[in-house]
């Protein structure tokens, strides 16, 4: 499914999908009407199981992030914050990495390496948790989630 098709499907079914990521977590927030619950979960699972990363969009976003980090490196306040993180966190933690390592990693990143990362981390996270709330029948939600989880 292309980016445009995915956006059209979300809009057509009045589905809102937000992705919030941090160093140690990713939160996927999915909001939809009750009658669109199965379709919404199907789109979410499709996004996770078969992510599309068009090369031009990947390069654009990666280059934008590199430029932001290069700019931040020149700001004394942001550089001091990064140094504090480096001194405070383990070297194995992304928070403990400095600008040079982050920029080098981004320059080396490829669509293939991003897909591999997603499959190894997001899709198989040992602490993964799904919370469903709202006007959805719990048994129906469990059945839908179980069915869709098999597709990952």
How do residues 32-41 score in pLDDT, each as one tens digit? 888 888 888 8
Model pLDDT, residue 131: 73
Model pLDDT, residue 123: 59
Burial 26-54 (b: 16+ CB within 10 A, else e): eeeebebeeebbbbbbbbbbbbbeeeebe
| Regions of the chain short of the pLDDT cut 50 | none
Model pLDDT, residue 9: 92
Instruction: Give this prediction's pTM.
Output: 0.60
* Distance from chain centroid for Cα 26: 6
Model pLDDT, residue 78: 77
**For the chain, how many residues are written?**
152
147 phi/psi in degrees, rounded to 5: -65, -45
3-state secondary structure 61-91: HHHHHHHHHHHHHHCHHHHHHHHHHHHHCCC
Model pLDDT, residue 74: 83
Q: What is the dihedral of CA 102, 45, 121, 63, to 10 degrees?
A: -10
Model pLDDT, residue 21: 67
Distance from C-alpha of 14 to C-alpha of 141, rounded to nearest angstrom: 18
């Amino acid at each position: 499914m292309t980016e445009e098709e995915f956006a059209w499907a979300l809009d057509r079914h009045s589905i809102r999908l937000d992705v919030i990521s941090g160093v140690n977590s990713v939160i996927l927030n999915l909001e939809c009407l009750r009658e669109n619950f199965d379709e919404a979960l199907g789109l979410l699972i499709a996004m996770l199981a078969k992510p599309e990363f068009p090369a031009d969009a990947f390069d654009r976003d990666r280059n934008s992030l590199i430029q932001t980090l290069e700019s931040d490196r020149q700001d004394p306040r942001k550089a001091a914050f990064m140094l504090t993180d480096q001194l405070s966190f383990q070297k194995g933690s992304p928070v403990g990495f400095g600008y040079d390592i982050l920029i080098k990693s981004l320059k080396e990143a490829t669509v293939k390496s991003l897909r591999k990362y997603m499959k190894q981390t997001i899709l198989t996270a040992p602490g993964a948790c799904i919370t469903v709330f709202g006007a959805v029948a719990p048994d129906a939600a469990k059945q839908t989630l179980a069915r869709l989880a098999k597709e990952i």
